[in-house]
């Protein structure tokens, strides 16, 4: 568990949650355990995705993947334990920061975002789509679920902890929808344009696995255009909230230009 | 997910939870979603345990194991989604039955019982112990964690939902400790004395995998003696509670004599 948690990574999901709390002028400590829970779920999903029966990847974040070091059985169990622990972390948020009903809502929404209706459902669709030519709609379905739902949850969880009204939560959810798609399109572009040192795994792995990507469907220039459009729509949603969203805007800009 | 959930099984964990509520004279509907959550966690753990990289079992509950039908990737993901969904189920218990603080406690305790400190930790110890001669103490550690913690949780969850006082919860936890060990010893005995039709999987699989078992350490007669002693201690703990525990006693008797 520690091996994969300490392997680094961008920590974009916890950052989004804390930056959302910041936008509401809230104490970021309110969200620290939920932020850790989200990163734990993300990391477990990488461990399981990297397994030989799934993506069969040897490198992650520049280090050998979990199963390469500990074997498949312990990699599966490390993931299981991390997924289980993430719910405990949220439930253990000290009562000085929030109330039990808010924590229950966070747990319910996390389960939806990470489970069969969300991230796991996206991974199932991804596997089903392998070696098939996907339409843009199929590809979006995969990314909205596999990556998007947990990114959206990161922002929504911050808003829930800030006791935001439902209409503001909805607007932030739409912001995160565009951010999530932008994030994934940038990922696809990096797989073509990046270097192994930049992205911590071999470049061109999507192509060699015959995976459909935004550039393979839209061309590289087309993918960059769609990326830019999602970034603009994300920022528009941020403006709509009327909150102090500087930090969230900076993260949004970073996602368009990131090299890893 | 449905394939494995509908494969049957004894449903001993949900039964224990509902029988505990019954002992307190409570409406069993209070515990229906938590009972479902526990069975879901148990079923996910079987799917993952049966994988080729773990126990590599082809039969479970008389049917081909999940990965034999759907492949390893979907078996892993079905387990992940069920584990995730179990927390949602508890969190969705209608507010007419209980309050948010009780549900949060149920979620925290489930995470401990099912995660690295509990069931998953027991599975790790089990794998580490393979092909080694285990002491009785090692074997008990494995069973207390791998099977015992979730069985204990089933009883404790009923008591928590019944708003029992901490001392009664503790006594019921001790009852379930003995019941859990008895359950596992009976399992080991059935692996020697049962038939494939009775237990839904090949007999003698522990022996062929060189697994240490209660009979292999204590002899068959010795194992039966220890089984009986745990059953007696479990019943003594039930009497200590002063509750109406008829149903729990019946389940306890069944565990000593069960054939599957």
Nearest to A84 among B72, B120, B127 (CB): B120
Interface confidence, given as ipTM, is 0.94
Hey, is the C-beta of B85 within 8 angstroms of any chain A C-beta?
yes
Residues of A with Cβ-Cβ distance to B72 under 8 angstroms: 51, 53
Hey, is the C-beta of A33 within 8 angstroms of any chain B C-beta?
no
pLDDT tens digit string along A221-238? 999 999 999 999 999 999
CA–CA min distance B101, chain A (Å): 6
How far is Cα B106 from Cα A40, in angstroms, rounded to an integer? 21
Please give the pLDDT value at position B214. 93
pLDDT beyond 80 at B144? yes
How far is Cα B119 from Cα B149, in angstroms, rounded to an integer? 6
Minimum CA–CA partner of A123 in chain B: B77
Phi and psi torsions of B60, nearest 5°: -150, 125
Nearest to B91 among A51, A108, A123 (CB): A108
Please give the pLDDT value at position A233. 98
Minimum CA–CA partner of B125 in chain A: A74
Hey, is the C-beta of B28 within 8 angstroms of any chain A C-beta?
no
Q: Across residues B39-44, what is the average pLDDT?
A: 98
CA–CA min distance A89, chain B (Å): 8
Residues of B with Cβ-Cβ distance to A73 under 8 angstroms: 51, 53-54, 127
* Domains recognised in chain A with CATH numbers: 2-257 (1.10.600.10)
3-state secondary structure of B64: strand
Q: What's the full length of chain B, in residues?
A: 260
How many CB pairs below 8 Å do chains A and B form together?
Answer: 117
Hey, is the C-beta of A149 within 8 angstroms of any chain B C-beta?
no
Find the Cα–Cα–Cα–Cα dihedral A207, A212, A213, A218, rounded to 10°: 110
Please give the pLDDT value at position A107. 98
Residues of A with Cβ-Cβ distance to B53 under 8 angstroms: 71-73, 76
Contact B80 A121 (CB under 8 A): no
Chain B, 86 to 105: residues with Cβ < 8 Å from chain A are: 87-88, 91-92, 99-101, 103-104
Lowest mean pLDDT among A80-94, B54-68, B112-126: B54-68
How far is Cα B180 from Cα B50, in angstroms, rounded to an integer? 21
Hey, is the C-beta of B70 within 8 angstroms of any chain A C-beta?
no
Find the Cα–Cα–Cα–Cα dihedral B205, B206, B207, B211, rounded to 10°: 150
Phi and psi torsions of A63, nearest 5°: -125, 160
Residues of A with Cβ-Cβ distance to B120 under 8 angstroms: 77, 80-81, 84
Q: Residue A30 gets which letter from DSSP?
A: G
pLDDT beyond 70 at A183? yes
CA distances (Å), B225 to each of A225, B219, B236, in order?
A: 74, 10, 17
Contact B104 A103 (CB under 8 A): yes
Could you tell me which of B158, B63, B178, B54 has the C-alpha nearest to residue B105? B158
pLDDT tens digit string along A130-157? 878 899 999 999 999 999 999 999 999 9
pLDDT beyond 70 at A93? yes
CA–CA min distance A16, chain B (Å): 22
Percent with pLDDT over 70 in chain B? 94
Nearest to B100 among A53, A87, A100 (CB): A100
Could you tell me which of A149, A160, A190 has the C-alpha nearest to residue A13? A149
Nearest to A84 among B51, B92, B111 (CB): B111
pLDDT tens digit string along B172-215? 999 999 999 999 999 999 988 876 666 666 666 666 667 889 99
Hey, is the C-beta of A46 within 8 angstroms of any chain B C-beta?
no
């Amino acid at each position: 568990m520690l091996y994969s948690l300490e392997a680094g990574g961008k920590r974009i999901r916890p950052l989004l949650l804390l930056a959302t709390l910041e936008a509401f002028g809230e104490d970021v400590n309110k969200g620290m355990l939920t932020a850790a829970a989200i990163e734990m779920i993300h990391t477990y999903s990488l461990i399981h995705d990297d397994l030989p029966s799934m993506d069969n990847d040897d490198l992650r974040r520049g280090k050998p993947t979990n199963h390469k070091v500990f074997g498949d059985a312990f990699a599966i169990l490390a993931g299981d334990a991390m997924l289980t622990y993430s719910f405990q972390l949220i439930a253990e948020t000290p009562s000085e920061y929030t109330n039990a009903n808010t924590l229950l809502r966070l747990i319910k929404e996390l389960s939806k975002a990470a489970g069969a209706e969300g991230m796991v459902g996206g991974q199932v669709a991804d596997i089903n789509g392998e070696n098939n030519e996907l339409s843009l709609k199929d590809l979006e379905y995969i990314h909205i679920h596999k990556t998007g739902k947990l990114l959206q949850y990161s922002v929504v969880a911050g808003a829930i902890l800030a006791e935001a009204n439902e209409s503001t939560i909805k607007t932030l959810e739409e912001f995160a929808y565009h951010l999530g798609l932008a994030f994934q399109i940038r990922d696809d572009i990096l797989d073509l344009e990046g270097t192994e040192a930049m992205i911590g795994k071999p470049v061109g792995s999507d192509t060699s696995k015959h995976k459909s990507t935004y550039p393979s469907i839209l061309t590289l220039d087309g993918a960059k255009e769609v990326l830019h459009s999602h970034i603009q729509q994300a920022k528009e949603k941020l403006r709509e909230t009327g909150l102090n969203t500087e930090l969230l805007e900076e993260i949004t800009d970073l996602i368009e230009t990131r090299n890893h």
